[in-house]
Chains A and B, each alone.
Chain A
C-alpha cells in the first residue's frame, strides 16, 4: 500500500465526498455508478481506500458539512466497506456494504424519479459479488458460507422496492436476474418462483419494455429452470428467445445459452450442425449428436459417461461447490445429464430405422418385420448385451412413446412396423407425447 500523507488522504476523501454529493444532487447516475463500483477496482476508488486507511476518522469529515452528513449513514458504511475491501477483509467489507446498500435503497426509495437506477444496479451487483467473495473467504476459514444467502434476501428487498408501479419498475428485471444468479448459485432455485410470478403476472408492464439485456438474462435463467422441470418446449422457446436477442458479439453468452438449448433441441428431435458446435466450442455435444445421427447407442453412452461429471451439475450443493471447488470446478455446471440420458430412446429409434432400411435393401417385402433377435444382434455389435426380454421391453417403450409405429407380436418375437411412417419424427415435440 502506497504511503499516503494525512493531507493527501484528507484531500482524497473530501474529493470523493464532494463528487458523491454532486452526483446525487445533479442526478448524475453514471458518476454515481463509478463511485460505487467496487469490483471495477478503479484507481480512484483504490486510492480512496488507501486514504481511508490512513485517515481513520472519515466520519468526522462526513459530519463536518451538512452536505455530506445528509448522506452520512450511506457514506460511513460505504467507507468502512471500502476500507475492509482494500485490506482484503471481505467478510467485513460485505457486512458494511450490506448496511450501505440498505441505507442507499432507503434513500433511493425517497427519490421520485428513477434516475439512480443504474447506480442501484451497481449496488445490487456489488452486493452479490462481494457476498460471493466473502463466502469464499469464510469457506477458506472453515466457516459456513452464508453471505450470499444474506445478499439474496437483500436483493429481494430491493426487488420489492422496484416491483411496484412507476418508472422504477424498469429496474425490477435487473434485480430479478441478480436474484436468479444468486439462487442458482445457492441451489435454492425454487425461490425463483415467486419472483417469476410477479414478473410474469404483472400486466401493468409489458415484458418487452424491460431492457433487452435483462430480458435475455431472464429468459436464459427461466429457460434453465424449464430444463430442470423437463418442460422442453417451454425451455426451447425461452432459450431461443434469449439466443435471438442476445448480443451476437457476446460469444460467451451465446455459448452459455447453447449449452442448454442444444440438449433441449436434441430432445425435441432437432439436431444441430457440426459447425455450430465447433463455432461455439461445444465439443462435449459432438459425440452425442454423432450418436443420434448414427443410432450408435454405445457412442451415446460413452459420451455420457465421459462427460457425466460435466453434465451433472451439483445444483443444490453450493456449499459443496465452495468446499470442493477444486474438484467441482471441473464440472461443467450444466445439469443437462438427465436430458441427454433421455436421448437414448431416440438413438434406439435411429437404430431401428437403420435396421429397417438395411432390411428393406435386402428384402423389401418383409422389411417391416423386425425380429427381436436381429435387434439384439445389432446391439451386440455395439457391444451392448441384451437378451430378448429386454429388447422386447425397449421395443414396447419405443412403441408406447410413439417413436416407432407398429406393434409387437410377443409369440413370434417380432416387431411389426407400420407401413406408413414407421419412425415418426419428433418435429419439435417432446418424446412420448
Chain B
C-alpha cells in the first residue's frame, strides 16, 4: 500500500524530471550516452533545483559536464576567495559571515524554530549582498565548522571570528570524524551530555548532514545501507533546496541530489520490488549493485523508460542519479560537508559498513577511489591545495580518535572485514578505508554538487591522510585527477566508486603516501566511532577543530561562494529572498506541495523501516519551516518551479532511502543501531518535533545483553542494545530475582532494571505483567508503597490492555489500598463499581470488600479476624492500617466498657496473639506482652485486678489515650527526607 502511495506521488514527480531531463538533454547533453545519462540527471537537476540560467551556464560550459561548469565557476570563485581567505583572514571572514547565515539555517533545521530565527537574521544581513549569499552556500558546506561557533553565538560574531567558522569547516571536512563523534555523542546521551554546546550543535548538525549523507550512502549502496538515512536525506534536501533556491550554485548540488532523489522515489514506487531487491543487493551487494547501475544508466538514457522502469530500473535510475548528483556535488564544496555529516552518523555508517563489508568489500574500495576522485575535484575547485591539506589533517585527527574508539567498541569485526578490502594502502587503514567508504558514501550526499561517487572518492582519499602533509599531497593528487576528469568530461561518467583509491593515494602517496594512509585510517575510524561515538567523550571532536582544517574548509567555501556569486541567479535569489520575506503565497504553495509529497512518502516509510520513517518525518517537519522560509525567499516563478521540482525530488529521494531501509531490517543489529542513532538524532536535531508524530516502533530497541543480573541505572540517553536484555533473558532474570535470598533492596534494584529493559524494548505481554506483579508483591512485603503504586498503575494499564495476570489479586490490593490509605470515597466507589460479578466471587476480592466493610463500620473484631485470614498479600496492606485500627478499637472500648477489660482479651481481639510466635500457650503470652507494651505506649492505664490479671482501666484510659508519634516520623511526612539522614548521607 505504501508503495502504491509512493508510486503515485512519485509518478507526478517523475514525469517532470523526465521531461526536464529530456529538455536538458536536448539542450545540453548531446555527446555520449554517458552524458545522456548524466544529462538526464542534470535534467532532473535543472528541472528541480537548478535554474534555467544555471542550466544554460552549464550548457555553455560543456554538455557532458553539466556540473563541471559549475565547479569551475566555484573554483574560480573559490580560488579568489580561498586565496583571499588563505592569504587574508579578512576575506575569509566575509565569506564566513555569509557562510554563517547559511550554517545557521542548517542549525535551524536541526533545531528548527530557534535556529530559524537566527537563520533569518543572519541570512538577511548577509544575504543581501549577493556575494555573501553565495558564500553562505559555501559556508553551508563548511557549515559543520561554523556550526559550533554559530550555534553558540547564534550571531555573526562567531562568523566574523574566523577561527570559529574555521573550526567548523575543519569539522566539516573532517566532519566525518568530528561530526561523527559529535553526532555520536549526541546520540549517546552520555557523550552528548558531556559535549559542549558546540558539540551538541555539531551533533545536530551532524544529524542533518548525516541524513544527507545517508541518502547518498543509500544511493551508493543501492539503498541497502541507508534505512535511517533516507529520512535525513530528505531533511537535508529540503533544507538544501532552500539554500539552493537562494543561491543557484548550491541549487546545482542540491538539484543533483534531487535528481538522485527523484530517481530514488521512482524506484520507491516500485518500492516493493526495490525493497526486495535491496535485501538481495545486501546479500549480494556487488553484483546487484553493478547491475543496478548499468540498468539505471540504461534507463536514464531512454528518458521515457525511467518512469515506467521496474524496480530495478528505478534502482538503476537511482544510481544514475547518484552519479550525476555526485558530479554535481563535485563542483560544490558542500560535498565535504556531506561527507563529514555522513560519517558522523554512527548508525548509518555501521549499517552501511556492514553492507559494504559483507557485500561490497570491493565496492568499498571502488567507492573509496571514487571518493578520492572527488577530492581531486575539490582541490582544483579550491585551487588552494594547502587548504585541502589542512582539512585533511584536521580530518585525520578527529577521525583517528574516533576510529580508535569505534573500533574497540563493537565494530572491530567490521574493521577487520574492511581491512581486507581497503588493505591495499595500509593495514591499519585498511579497516579504516572500509569505514571510509561508508563515510564517503555519506559524504556523497552532501557533495550533491559533485558526483557522489567522486565525493566519496575524495573523502576516502582524505580519510587516508594522516596529517596535513598527506592531506595536501592527497588534495593535490585529487585535484589533478578531478581536473583531469573534468577536462576529459569523464567526471560524471567515471565510476568513482570503482576508481581505485590507490590511484589517488598512490599519486598522493607519491606525494605523501603516509598522509593518505592516515587519512584513510581517520575516515575509517570515524565511521567506527560513530556507533560508539555516542558514548565517547566529546573531546574527540575537538581535534577536528584544527585551524588548518578550518582554513581549508573556508577556502572551499569561499570557492563555493564565489561560484554562487558569479551566478547571477544567486544574487537574484538574494534579492528575491529579501522580497520573499514579504511574499508568503509562494512559500505556502511550496509548503503545501511539499507536504502533499511528503505525506505519501511518510506512509511508505512507516510501512517500510519505521526508524527511517520517523527520522524522515521529523526531519521533514524541522525542515519545513526552514524550507518554507527558503521558499518564501524565492519569489520568482522560476525559482518556485525549481523548488517545487526539488521538493518533489526530495520526496522521491526519501522514498528511495526508505526503500533502501526496508531491506535493512533484516539485519537486526543494524536496525537497532540505526534506530538508536535515529532516535538520538531525532532527539537532538529534531527536538522541536511533535512527539506524537514520531514512530516509536521504529525506535524500539532489541536487546542483546545476555547477563541475567543487571543493576538499575536510570537512563540518561538512548538505550544501548548491548546492555539491554532480550525477553528470554529477562524471564530468567525474573525467576532469578524471585528465588533470590537477597533482601528487598537488591530485588527492587533488579526488578527495576528488568522493568527498564522491558520498557525500552516496549514489551507488553504477560512477562511484563508478571514482572510488575512480582515487584508489587515484593514492594508490599517490604511496605514500599511508592514502588507498589508505580507497579499498580502500570498493572492497571496492562490489565486494561487485556494482558492476563493476577487481575483479581491486584483488584483486591487496589481496593484495600483505597480503603485503608487513600480514603477517597469517590475512588472507592468507582473501583467497587468496576468489579465484575466474577471478581466479587474471588476470595481475595471478597476479603478486601469485607475489610472495607469492617473498616467503615469500625468493626475491629472483624478486621483482625480478616487480618489473620488474609489471602495473598492482603495482610501486608492491612499491616499498614493495623495501628490505626487498634487505636480506634481501644478508644471505642475504653469509652464503652466499664470498669475494665482484660488485656488478654484485647490481645486476642486486636490481633496481637498469634502474630509473634507459633505455640498456642506461648502465643497468648507473647500477645499479652506485646499488647500491654502497645497499650502502655498509647497511654492506656493498665492495672492488675483481683486475680492478678492485667486489665485495662477503661475509665482512666478513655481520657489518656493518645497516638504516639511514630519514632521515625518527620514533620514533612517523608522520613526518607529527614534532614539528619540527609546530612549523614552527604
Contacts and interface: CB of A to CB of B under 8 A. Distances in A.
Contacts of B901: 410
B152 interface: no
A396 interface: yes
Interface extent on B, as a size class? Answer: 20 to 34
A397 B829 contact: no
Interface stretch (A90-98, A159-167, A253-261, A385-393): A385-393
B891 A409 contact: no
Interface stretch (B164-172, B578-586, B852-860): B852-860
A315 B830 CA distance: 6
Nearest to B906: A410
A309 B896 contact: no
B830 A314 contact: yes
Contact of B893 (A335, A337, A396): A396
Contact of A407 (B825, B832, B858, B897): B897
A393 B861 contact: yes
A345 B905 contact: no
A344 B891 CA distance: 20
Contacts of B892: 393, 396-397, 399-400
B898 interface: yes
Which of A230, A397, A407, A409 has the most chain B CB within a 10 Å cutoff? A397
Nearest to B826: A315
A338 B834 contact: no
Contacts of B897: 396, 407-410
A73 interface: no
A373 interface: no
Nearest to B955: A407
B828 interface: yes
A328 B858 CA distance: 31
A400 B859 contact: no
A6 B900 CA distance: 94
Nearest to A410: B901
Contact of A393 (B830, B832, B859): B859
A314 B834 contact: yes
B830 A187 contact: yes
B23 interface: no
Interface in B879-915: 889, 891-893, 895-898, 900-902, 905, 909
Contacts of B833: 309, 312-314, 317, 328, 331
A187 B856 CA distance: 23
Nearest to B899: A409
Interface in A308-361: 309, 312-317, 320, 328, 331, 335, 337-338, 341-342, 344-345
Nearest to A341: B856
A69 to B, nearest CB: 23
Nearest to A317: B830
Contact of B896 (A320, A331, A345, A407): A407
B857 A344 contact: yes
A301 to B, nearest CB: 10
A389 B859 contact: no
A189 interface: yes
A359 B833 CA distance: 42
B728 interface: no
B891 A400 contact: yes
Where chain B touches its partner, the secondary structure class is helix
A413 to B, nearest CB: 11
B830 A409 contact: no
A13 interface: no
Interface in B807-827: 825-827
Contacts of A374: none
A228 interface: yes
Given A407-B896, A408-B897, A397 B859 contact: yes
B11 interface: no
A195 interface: no
A394 B858 CA distance: 8
B873 interface: no
A335 B829 contact: yes
Nearest to B856: A341
Contacts of B891: 400
Given A317-B834, A389-B909, A409 B829 contact: no
Nearest to B831: A316
> Which among B861, B862, B898, B901 has the greatest number of chain A C-beta atoms within 10 A?
B861
A230 B825 contact: yes
A316 B827 contact: yes
A395 B858 CA distance: 11
B895 A345 contact: no
Given A314-B829, A390-B861, A407 B898 contact: yes
B109 to A, nearest CB: 32
A328 B902 CA distance: 50
Contacts of B902: 410
Contact of A187 (B825, B826, B889): B826
A120 B909 CA distance: 63
Contacts of B828: 338
A147 to B, nearest CB: 18
Given A392-B861, A393-B860, A410-B905, A228 B832 contact: no
A407 B892 CA distance: 11
Interface in A295-317: 309, 312-317
Chain B CB within 10 A, most for which of A229, A389, A395 = A389
Nearest to A344: B857
A416 B896 CA distance: 10
Contacts of A338: 825, 828-829, 856
B862 A390 contact: yes
Contacts of B826: 187, 189, 228, 315-316, 335
A235 B763 CA distance: 49
Most buried by B among A320, A331, A392: A392
A341 B833 CA distance: 15
Contacts of A228: 825-826
A313 B909 contact: no
A407 B828 CA distance: 34
B914 to A, nearest CB: 15
Interface in B837-862: 853, 856-862
B885 to A, nearest CB: 11
Contacts of A320: 830, 834
A316 B830 contact: yes
Contacts of B889: 393
Contacts of A416: 898
Contacts of A400: 891-892, 895-896
A390 B854 CA distance: 11
B857 A397 contact: yes
Contacts of A328: 833
Contacts of A187: 826, 830
Nearest to A396: B896
Contacts of B858: 397
A398 to B, nearest CB: 8
Interface string A185-199: 001010000000000
Nearest to B898: A407
A335 B830 CA distance: 9
Most buried by B among A187, A342, A390: A390
Contacts of B893: 396
Contacts of A230: 825
Interface of A: 187, 189, 228-230, 309, 312-317, 320, 328, 331, 335, 337-338, 341-342, 344-345, 389-390, 392-397, 399-400, 407-410, 416
23 contacts: A230-B825, A312-B829, A314-B833, A316-B827, A316-B829, A316-B830, A337-B832, A338-B828, A338-B829, A341-B856, A345-B857, A396-B895, A397-B857, A397-B858, A397-B892, A400-B895, A400-B896, A407-B896, A407-B897, A407-B898, A410-B900, A410-B902, A416-B898
Top 6 A-B pairs ranked by shortest CB distance?
Answer: A399-B896, A396-B896, A407-B898, A393-B861, A316-B830, A314-B833
Given A338-B856, A399-B896, 19 more contacts: A312-B829, A312-B833, A313-B833, A314-B834, A320-B830, A328-B833, A335-B826, A337-B832, A345-B857, A393-B861, A393-B892, A396-B895, A397-B859, A397-B896, A400-B892, A407-B896, A408-B896, A408-B897, A409-B897
